[in-house]
Amino acid sequence: MTPSDAQARVFDSPDATQANLPPHTMELIIQRARITGQLTYVTSNGRRQVIPVGPCLVEVLSGRTLDVIWGVDGQRSAALSIEEIQTAQDLGYLVLLG
């Protein structure tokens, strides 16, 4: 599966469609989502932490990396691979909202 195929699977909703952007404009793809189970990430010091259950945003960073953003003011985030996001979706731990 190529990165674009995987991103298409992760962002299979009208909100994630590509827009016609003027030159030199950064494309930003963000999807509203909800954490419903134990989704973990590795911190900079190598410890595994749990993203709390609740609302979040999932943003395409680059290639095979997505950023999960959570917290009252979006103050927390973790970069996860497309494979980690897909596994969380398959397990029902991450639900993308329309």
From 44, 80, 45, select the one nearest 62 (Cα to Cα): 80
CA distances (Å), 8 to each of 15, 19, 39, 60, 70, in order? 12, 15, 21, 11, 22
Residue 33 and residue 57 in contact, taking contact as beta carbons nearer than 8 Å: yes
Taking only the tens place, the pLDDT of each residue in 45-78 is 999 999 999 999 999 887 789 999 999 888 999 9
In whole angstroms, give the CA distance from residue 37 to residue 83: 16
Taking only the tens place, the pLDDT of each residue in 1-47 is 444 444 545 555 333 334 344 454 456 688 999 999 999 999 999 99
In whole angstroms, give the CA distance from residue 59 to residue 61: 6
Supply the pLDDT for residue 73.
Answer: 87
From 46, 67, 54, 48, select the one nearest 93 (Cα to Cα): 54
Supply the pLDDT for residue 62.
Answer: 76
pTM for the whole thing? 0.72
Between residues 90 and 27, the one the model is more confident about? 90
Supply the pLDDT for residue 28.
Answer: 67
Supply the pLDDT for residue 2.
Answer: 43
